Amino acid sequence: MELFPFPTVRSGQKEFLDDAREAISTGMHLLAHAPTGVGKTSAALTAALEYGMERGMLTLFLTSRQSHHKIAIQTLRLMKKRSGRDIVVVDIIAKQSMCPREDVTHFFPGEFHEFCRIQQRTHRCRYAFNESEDLMEALRTEICDVGSLVRMATAYDVCPYKAALELGALADVIVCDYNYLFSPAEDTILSRLGRSSDELLVIVDEAHNLPDRIRDHLSLSITPFDLKDAIKEIKGLKGEISPRLSRHLRSMLQIFDAFAKRTPQGGETLISRDDLLERIGRILKERLDPLSLDEFIEMLADSGREVIKDGAYRSALSQLASFLEVWSQNDDVSVRIFENRDPPRISYRLLDPSVFSREIFAQVHGSILMSGTLFPEMTRDLLGIEEERSMLRTYQSPFPGKNRLILAVGGITTLYSKRDEVMFEKIGDRISAVAARIPGNLAVFFPSYTIMDAVLPYVRSGKRIVKEGRSMTKDEKDGIYEVLMNLKERGGG
């Protein structure tokens, strides 16, 4: 109990903590529907660290939202302060988001990684090869959020991502995104830390998001614009293969026309793996010097590397190579679609997330999957978790039901066909009326930034309006929380 961050355990929290301890100690997977207020984060981290720190195990706290990184870090700081134990923690986000260089913000993720490799290989990155014992000692002794880690590493001219991984090899806890574990094997954090799966304890926060995140992460698409961008890139390359590649890509544009002829405008058509590959195969064999698909993909990838090596921010050639590599896989867990829209699109969409998650859950020592909107049995089946290793639990909200008031307001809608200035003004009036009756802070959630921007001019309130911007950074979003906390006792915001 010495690691629990608070003086006492609440009644509803105790049940969750007991189940979490049982799951971790017996190598089970706890799938928990636990509403807001149960105290999931502190209970899950306590159970995992009590067991893991005594055995040299690594706890991965996976969350899909950067705002939840902050909650986990705050909890771990309280655990360290209350227990007096040395807890080594790493907070890590996407490598590109941690990069201190200003010239990388326009890359797509795959292109950034290729750019980064080339910068390291050619010794053109000032941060890549520097080391600092003083930095690592500071990171070992202080629990830093990712923003602080980036600032500290940059001050020492050390790559923040490299510093995070180096510390991760010694860490008790790593707070990171789902993708660090639920990705192809060569991309997972385990491959970079040299840790084995059976010494891993996994906590999945907001676990209802995990199946869709796996699907989205492993789904790809291409449009005619992607092919045209690739053709433009080829014009800037030297060598005898450039005209050949350009010719093949121009011919591939006709594939979109062929699929469009059999698909209603605005509709979708299922296409098979071979339907696309056979059309590409015929294009590659049209000349006296035919190519295999593998050779074609390799040429695209090599040319994409040349484009990035020459200083481009991104490469359509690299993106196309990645798409064709995934499309060529022979599987029965995806759907392949042609969408006859503007622009037309050929998409590979993963349907069954368990093809990646099943083996991961089978190999890790134990896990806690938790959310306030989780269906435990359905989530277990979607992720392919073994039934005999599963604990399915549903916990009650700790708040009295009478405290929850749900009201519906008629006469307003965000239905697309009803959106106009009159409707936006009505919505603004309703928000203004509610704000006038609510002391303290009030949160308003919109279905999109566009609708928010259309409604806000009609909101009239004595409260200060604090708006989340579309392009806000993590630090700027964290700043909203601080502003609202300051406004809480001064009329609210």
pLDDT digits (tens, 9 = 90+) for 439-448: 888 899 999 9
Residue 258 half-sphere exposure, CB side, CA atoms within 13 Å? 10
The Cα–Cα gap between 140 and 157 comes to: 18
Encoded amino acid at 368, one letter: I
**Which comes out higher in pLDDT, residue 121 or 388?**
388
Output the pLDDT for position 187: 59
Please check the confidence at residue 107 and state whether its pLDDT lies above 90. Answer: no
CATH architecture label of 224-343? Orthogonal Bundle (1.10)
Please check the confidence at residue 461 and state whether its pLDDT lies above 80. Answer: yes
Distances (CA, A) of 245 to 250, 257, 280, 295: 9, 20, 12, 11
Using a pLDDT cut of 70, give the percent of the chain over it. 97
Contact of 199 with 212, CB cutoff 8 Å:
no
Region 273-302 average pLDDT: 90
Please check the confidence at residue 185 and state whether its pLDDT lies above 60. Answer: no
Residue among 473, 493, 323, 136 nearest 315 (CA) = 323
Contact of 97 with 180, CB cutoff 8 Å:
no
Region 376-397 average pLDDT: 96
Beta strands 89-91; 173-176: pairing state: parallel
Residue among 194, 94, 80, 91 nearest 139 (CA) = 91
Output the pLDDT for position 482: 81
**pLDDT level of residue 290 (50, 70, 90 thresholds):** confident
Lowest mean pLDDT among 25-29, 290-294, 313-317: 313-317
Residue among 443, 396, 439, 458 nearest 38 (CA) = 396
Output the pLDDT for position 472: 81
The Cα–Cα gap between 47 and 54 comes to: 12
CATH architecture label of 407-487? 3-Layer(aba) Sandwich (3.40)
Distance of CA 446 to the CA centre of its chain: 21
Output the pLDDT for position 308: 75
**Ranges in the chain annotated CATH 3.40.50.300:** 11-217+353-394, 407-487
The Cα–Cα gap between 75 and 83 comes to: 12
Please check the confidence at residue 325 and state whether its pLDDT lies above 70. Answer: yes
Structure tokens at 220: 């790809």
SS (H, E, C) the chain: CCCCCCCCCCHHHHHHHHHHHHHHHHCCEEEEECCCCCCHHHHHHHHHHHHHCCCCCEEEEECCCHHHHHHHHHHHHHHHHHHCCCCCEEECCCHHHHCCCHHHCCCCHHHHHHHHHHHHHCCCCCCCCCCCHHHHHHHHHCCCCHHHHHHHHHHCCCCHHHHHHHHHCCCCEEEECHHHCCCCHHHCHHHHHCCCHHHEEEEEECHHHHHHHHHHHCCEEECHHHHHHHHHHHHCCCCCHHHHHHHHHHHHHHHHHHHHHCCCCCCEEECCHHHHHHHHHHHHCCCCCCCCHHHHHHHHHHHHHHHHHCCCCCCHHHHHHHHHHHHCCCCCCEEEEEECCCCCEEEEEECCCHHHHHHHHHHCCEEEEEECCCCHHHHHHHHCCCHHHEEEEECCCCCCHHHCCCCCCCCCCCCHHHCCHHHHHHHHHHHHHHHHHCCCCCCCCCCCHHHHHHHHHHCCCCCCCCCCCCCCCHHHHHHHHHHHHHHCCCCCC
**pLDDT level of residue 483 (50, 70, 90 thresholds):** confident
Q: How far apart are the first and last CA of the chain?
A: 39
**pLDDT level of residue 110 (50, 70, 90 thresholds):** low
Residue for token digits 């959106």?
Answer: 419
Output the pLDDT for position 474: 67
**Which comes out higher in pLDDT, residue 110 or 123?**
123
Mean pLDDT over each residue of the chain, to the nearest integer = 90
Output the pLDDT for position 115: 83
Region 190-207 average pLDDT: 89
Output the pLDDT for position 399: 81
Output the pLDDT for position 106: 76
**pLDDT level of residue 114 (50, 70, 90 thresholds):** confident
Output the pLDDT for position 331: 86
Lowest mean pLDDT among 71-80, 243-252, 300-309, 349-358: 300-309
Choosing among 3.90.930.60, 3.40.50.300, 3.40.50.2300, 3.40.50.1220, the CATH entry for 11-217+353-394 is 3.40.50.300
The Cα–Cα gap between 30 and 3 comes to: 20
Please check the confidence at residue 1 and state whether its pLDDT lies above 60. Answer: no
**Ranges in the chain annotated CATH 1.10.275.40:** 224-343
Q: What is the pLDDT of residues 345-359, one digit of tens each?
A: 999 999 999 988 999
* Residue length of the chain: 493
Sheet with 200-205: strands ordered across: 89-91, 173-176, 58-62, 200-205, 366-371, 29-33, 390-394
Beta bridge partners of 385: none
Q: What are the backbone dihedrals phi and psi of residue 404, each rounded to the nearest 5 degrees, phi first?
A: -100, 110
**pLDDT level of residue 100 (50, 70, 90 thresholds):** very high
Structure tokens at 70: 């902050």
Region 279-287 average pLDDT: 89
Beta strands 366-371; 200-205: pairing state: parallel
pTM: 0.81
The Cα–Cα gap between 160 and 100 comes to: 8
Contact of 89 with 170, CB cutoff 8 Å:
no
Please check the confidence at residue 92 and state whether its pLDDT lies above 90. Answer: yes
The three-point CA angle 336-210-65 to 5° equals 120
Output the pLDDT for position 109: 66
Alpha-helix runs per DSSP H in 157-266: 160-168, 189-193, 210-217, 224-235, 241-261
Residue among 44, 81, 352, 324 nearest 201 (CA) = 44
Region 418-425 average pLDDT: 92
